[in-house]
């Protein structure tokens, strides 16, 4: 019975993390789409450096995904032992 509860908790955790990662990904894509080029009266200039924004977004996404990967690896290691 405890193993079923543990499995259900793991599934719920993975679903929550998946939803958060999906939302973050959609937010990243939206911000990239919006920040391409802003046309000023004198010339077209980038609104901001898109590479730094992408790097920040990748770092944020990795900070969510890495603990999940570590948890899955640890869980599989425990099951193997």
pLDDT digits (tens, 9 = 90+) for 6-54: 888 888 999 999 898 898 888 888 777 776 555 555 555 555 666 677 7
Structural domain for 50, as ranges: 2-80
pLDDT of residue 35: 64
Mean pLDDT of 48-66: 75
pLDDT of residue 63: 82
Mean pLDDT of 56-80: 77
The model's pTM is 0.39
Count how many domains the chain has.
1
pLDDT of residue 43: 56
HSE-up (13 A, CA, CB side) for residue 23: 7
- Tell the burial category of 71 from Cβ atoms under 10 Å away from its Cβ (0-12, 13-18, 19+): middle
Q: How far apart are alpha carbons 16 and 39 in whole angstroms?
A: 39
């Amino acid at each position: 019975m405890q193993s079923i509860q543990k499995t259900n908790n793991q599934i719920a955790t993975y679903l929550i993390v998946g939803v958060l990662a999906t939302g973050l990904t959609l937010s990243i894509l939206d911000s990239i789409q919006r920040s391409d080029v802003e046309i000023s009266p004198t010339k077209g200039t980038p609104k901001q450096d898109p590479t730094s924004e992408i790097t920040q977004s990748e770092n944020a996404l990795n900070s969510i995904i890495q603990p999940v990967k570590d948890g899955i690896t640890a869980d599989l290691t425990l099951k193997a032992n």
